[in-house]
Amino acid sequence: MDIDSMKCRNCGGTSLSPKNSDIMVCDYCGAEYDLAQLRAKAAALEKEQKAIDALAGDLSRLRQLADQKEAERQKAIDEEKRKKKSCARSSCA
Ligand SMILES: [Zn+2]
């Protein structure tokens, strides 16, 4: 989350000015926001996002593995069919 471009949750205004190093004030309605709290929230969100990204990565790896297994299975079935056909032709069954 970019604190500089945050919106006022009270009035939706997009212009917030720093009152001091810890507090931002909405230019429209005067609502005050504690920067330390916002930063902590942003950090928590970022951590959550990273965990979600990691899970998504695992999931896509698992999907790839499943696709690979399915392709191998299909190949084995095709191979089996080919063997049976060539046997039928040469009447070796
Ligand atoms: Zn406001």
Q: Cα(5)–Cα(15) distance, rounded to whole angstroms?
A: 8
| 19-56 pLDDT, tens digit each | 999 999 999 999 999 999 989 999 999 999 999 999 99
pTM of the model: 0.48
Q: Would you list the domain boundaries of the chain?
A: 3-89
Token pair listed for 8 = 């006022």
Task: Report which DSSP code applies to 20.
Answer: S
Amino acid at 16: L
Q: How far is the CA of 26 from the centre of ligand 1 (A)?
A: 5
Q: Beta strands 16-18 and 32-34: pairing type?
A: unpaired
Ligand 1 center from residue 47 Cα (angstroms) = 28
Nearest in space to 30 (alpha carbons), one of 17, 44, 48: 17
Percentage of the chain modeled with pLDDT above 70 = 87
Contacts of 36 (CB under 8 A, 6+ apart): 22
Residue with tokens 């942003």, as numbered in its chain: 42
pLDDT value of residue 84: 86
